[in-house]
Amino acid sequence: MSRPSLPFRFSSVPPPDPQTASSRLAPVDMSTATMLSGGRELSQPPSDGISNLRFSSHSDLLLVSSWDRTIRLYDVGENTLKAEFVHAGPVLDCCFHDDSSGFSAGADHSVRRHIFGSGKEDILGHHDAPVRCVEYSYAAGQVITGSWDKTLKCWDPRGANSSDRALIGTYVQPERVYSLSLVGYRLVVATAGRHVNVYDLRNMSQPEQRRESSLKYQTRCVRCYPNGTGRVAMEFFDLSEAAQAKKYAFKCHRKSEAGRDTVYPVNAMAFHPIYGTFATGGCDGYVNYSKYPTSIAALSFNRDGRLLAVASSYTFEEGEIPHEPDAIFVRNVNEVEVKPKPKALPGPPP
Amino acid sequence: MAHISTDQLLQLETTCGSFLYELQIIWDEVGETDTERDKMLLELEQECLEVYRRKVDQANRYRAQLRQTIADSEAELAAICSAMGEPPVHTKQPIQRVGNLKEELNSIAPQLEEMRKRKGERLKQFLEVMEQIRNISVEVMPTEYIPSRHVDESDLSIRKLEELYRQLESLQKEKNDRLKQIMDHLSTLNELCSVLGVAFKETVREIHPTLDDAEASKSISNVTIERLATAIGRLREIKIERMQKLQDLASTMLELWNLMDTPIEEQQLFQNVTCNIAASEEEITESNTLSVDFLSYVEEEVLRLEQLKVSKMKELVLKKKTELEELRRQGHLVVEEAENEPEIAISAIESGAIDASLVLNQIEGQIAEVKEEAFSRKDILERVEKWLTACEEEAWLEEYNRDENRYNAGRGAHLTLKRAEKARALTNKIPGMVDTLVAKITQWEKERGIGFTYDGVRLLTMLGEYTIVRQEKEQERKRQRDQKKLQGQLIAEQEALYGSKPSPSKPQSAKKVPRTSTGGSNRRLSFGGAATLQTPKPDYMHSAKSTRTAKKLDDLALTGSRGLDIAGLPVKKLSYNDAITKHQEVGMPRKPFASIVPVNTIPSAPSMPVIASTLEENQAPNKMLLLTPKNPATAAAVPMRVASTPAPTCLVNDGKLSVVASVEETEYSFEERRLAFYVGGR
């Protein structure tokens, strides 16, 4: 018997394939979409591409990692920059430990821990290649990092500054790790080559499941649905036929212009902590019908889902070209926008 | 007695004296010598002495024995007293020793007897206690040290006894505690078993056979308790697991009921399931609520409901599809992909690839769209209908005009005449109608930025074609009139020459005027394709055809309108496919989203190729059709570059980024490419 199935979802880089250009499924209809305000912009944004941003799960603090080699902590309520750490190389990911400390993944192969109050930082350890993503598991009390060296590493944050003490284990992946997501003890790892591995943090010796992404193209981002009772069915941990039958994929971030369809890569996803709906952000600069200056690099809902932080930052999809300055917008979320839409049949599910 | 003994002694003396006298008489008679007589007397004396000595020794020994007995008794008494922890009862005081030995012994003996009796009793008590302790110990911890049955007789004091009693008491308490614990465990286990539908007796028997037996004393050892606790833990885990499953099922069930408006009577059968939806583990106590049978029963129901839902959804999807198609048909809207859509959707729903509600939403959206569109097209469509009716009449009129016998009076001839009259009037109005329509359509198209199609054919094209055909017909008629006139002249000349008048050339007209078969079952064909292809001898079309085909090609290429494909277009489609496949061949098998350009060159010039790839991505097929042949250079560029790229090369930069890149196989994310650029830039 299985626990309630936990869905997770992929987003992928779209194809250069003219035959799939029809986008009748896409819900983006610009003529009817209401243009909502993009929200207020934070002052003192990073000076180069934003690699990720995350709201704290206890407060309205926002942690931002950037290609300008910094990791920054903002107080969104006061619109102030509370702390800043400079690395040797670009920072590819960051996450909170608690409100007083956090972790970062660096292109300089290092995994660091930052104490916001004192400005102190420790090195948890190193990978053999740039570290692409970092997650902290409250359930296991571990930091999990994924790197382009094709490994996953688990760290004990208490053992900082002596790598032999901090490192719990190294787990070889089939390809370079591109995205990680956690829910409870479940860990989903998406790598190049469209591999997806699902682990149980309590038994990391081998993946609980090995899958191939159901999408055709490169996996950019993978996120776990926050609770077990999926309202929107996507892809499920549960291997039973019934649960697997529920998975689906839909197209988004497409645009029809003069008979041509432009398909944009999807960079980011964030789940609403209360309603379980989710927002996606792509290289077209749209988040749920609001247009931002450039590609959406990252999204994060705050703890009660009333705020959505949007990193409007060029994601290098077209190489080095001139682009809009990098900015962080924090926008108030209307309940109407995030509440699940009633189903087609009479009587919405309880 | 002394008196008696003196008497006896006196008697003895007299007897001895008489014996001696008798002996003297005998001796005198015998004449014994004096020596003999002395000797005999000495002998007598010695024998007497010997007897005395023996008696004294005997008395002496008896005394010693008596003393020994007294000492022994006293010692024993003292030992018993000390063992029993009591002060010695008998203190050997000299005053008490006035009596002789026998008295003394007599005084000690009863005391000793008494003490022995008490000791025996005490010993029995000890044995009893220790036996009990031993029994309980065996029950509590059978494997551990067991106190021996041996009683240490040197310490039989009350204190020791009390100690033992305390030990016994504590053991008994422990035993009771354990019994209580076991009973608790058993009742918990019983509850769990009943909820889970597991045989309680067997479960218990597995743990320890005595637990099942109501009569026998139950095993209370640590091992048993531990096993019980483990069994409870295990069952509780199972219970929680099953409870979660049940609750999952219940919530699914509720959702499905809600979704399908399941009647209350049907719901009531599963009231005992749904009432537990939010229950905690302790709250579920009803027996069999979580048994395997019950769970599978509920699961079956959920499965049934789900299947029902799928079939209902399917029905609904089909119904909506039909509605959508009906609407489209009414609005003369044609969407090419729509043709096998329902089958795809249905099979997808059946296979579970798509959520039916999603499909339903889509269809509803499409229906709304179609309705909206139909509304905006209504005005024009009404005019189109009028125009088409007019065209039908026109066609009829033409047919009628060709009928040689049309003026023959027959039944209903007057009606036909009337109709012809009306038709002529209508036909004259057609150019005006077409003009208004064209204006309206142009405005409509301007507003929306898309072509107005009628059954998939661009209406403007239809109208344009119609106008051209009409003009041609017009010209033809003119030509005929001219010819007629010419013929008339010729005839007039001939008449002048030969005086005879040939009949007007009927066959010519019948052959030359083509059937513009307007109306009929398929209007669409008649305007687009039939006009160009079905015409038997479209000699008059030749002039216009080339230009128009070119124009159509343009139309097709630019707007993507595929309206004309039924008629002229197998050829065109082929070329399109050709272009695509050719392009793909040239574009060679590369992985999705792999960069077109070898990755190694990224640091040097990343922007150009990436732009190229996005450009390509954005291209609609039609554009490609036009571009590829015109621009063979781009097509050729790819294989050339690939060919010139050396095999796997290393991109090393400060040792920071070392990626061994095999050109065709490696895919890279934006971030990797960005880092490569970043490192290269520094």
* Complex prediction ipTM: 0.76
Of B201-215, B417-431, B632-646, give the lowest mean pLDDT range: B632-646
pLDDT at residue number B547: 45
CB contacts, 8 Å: A323 with chain B: none
Residue B43 is predicted with a pLDDT of 92
Report which listed range, A16-25, A207-216, A313-322, B448-457, is most confident. Answer: A313-322
pLDDT tens for residues B592-639? Answer: 444 444 444 333 333 333 333 434 444 444 444 444 344 444 444 444
Nearest to B254 among A233, A265, A350 (CB): A350
Task: Write down the pLDDT at residue A2.
Answer: 40
Query: Residue B228: which of B191, B188, B198 has the closest Cα?
Result: B188
**Residues of chain B positioned with their CB less than 8 A from the CB of A321:** 607, 611
With both helix axes pointing from N to C terminus, report the angle between B158-196 and B200-207 in degrees, rounded to the nearest 10: 140
Could you tell me where the beta strands, DSSP code E, fall in B200-296? none
Residues of A in contact with B675 (CB under 8 A): 90, 107, 130
pLDDT tens for each residue of A129-146:
999 999 999 888 899 999
Using a CB-CB cut-off of 8 Å, the residues of chain B touching A108 are 656
More confident residue, B589 or B449: B449
How many contacts, defined by CB atoms under 8 Å, are there between A and B?
Answer: 147
**Per-residue pLDDT, B539:** 43
| Angle of helix B632-644 versus helix B570-587 axis, rounded to 10 | 20
Question: Under an 8 A CB cutoff, do B354 and A192 touch?
Answer: no
Question: pLDDT, tens digit, for every residue of B128-153?
Answer: 888 888 888 887 776 666 666 677 77
Helix axes B632-644, B621-630, angle to 10 degrees: 80
Residue A55 forms beta bridges with which residues? A62
Residue A206 to chain B, least CA–CA distance (Å): 24
For B559, nearest residue in chain A (alpha carbons): A259
pLDDT level of residue A255 (50, 70, 90 thresholds): low
Q: Percentage of chain B surpassing pLDDT 90?
A: 4
Q: How many CA atoms lie within 13 A of B567 on its CB side?
A: 23
Higher pLDDT pick, B18 / B452: B18
pLDDT band at B577 (very low <50, low <70, confident <90, very high): very low
Q: Does B346 score more than 80 pLDDT? A: no
Residue B280 has pLDDT above 50, yes or no: yes
- The model's pTM is 0.37
Q: Each residue of A301-341: pLDDT tens digit?
A: 888 888 999 999 888 888 888 888 889 999 888 777 777 76
- Distance, in Å, from the CA atom of B388 to the CA atom of A103, rounded to the nearest integer, reads 73
Average pLDDT score over residue span B243-260 = 86
Closest residue in chain B to residue A216, using alpha carbons only:
B592
Question: How far A124 CA lies from chain B's nearest CA (Å)?
Answer: 19
Residue A73 pLDDT grade (very low, low, confident, very high; cuts 50, 70, 90):
very high
CA B407 to chain centre: 85
Return the C-alpha torsion angle B337, B340, B342, B345, nearest 10.
-80
**B635: buried, middle or exposed (CB in 10 Å: 19+, 13-18, 0-12)?**
middle
Interchain CB distance below 8 Å, B259 and A320: no
Q: Which residue has the higher pLDDT, B489 or A87?
A: A87
pLDDT at A75: 92
Chain B residues touching residue A92 (CB < 8 angstroms)? 671
Cβ–Cβ gap B611/A318 under 8 Å: yes
Looking at per-residue pLDDT, the higher value among B140 and A181 belongs to: A181
Kindly determine whether residue B353 and residue A130, on different chains, have CB atoms separated by under 8 Å.
Answer: no
Give the pLDDT score at B453. Answer: 78
Residues on chain A touching B311 (C-beta within 8 angstroms) = none
* A125 SS3 class: strand
CA distance B357 to chain A (A): 6
A7-18+37-319+326-335: in CATH 3.40.190.10:
no
Question: Which residues lie below 8 Å from residue B237, measured CB to CB, with a gap of 6+?
Answer: none
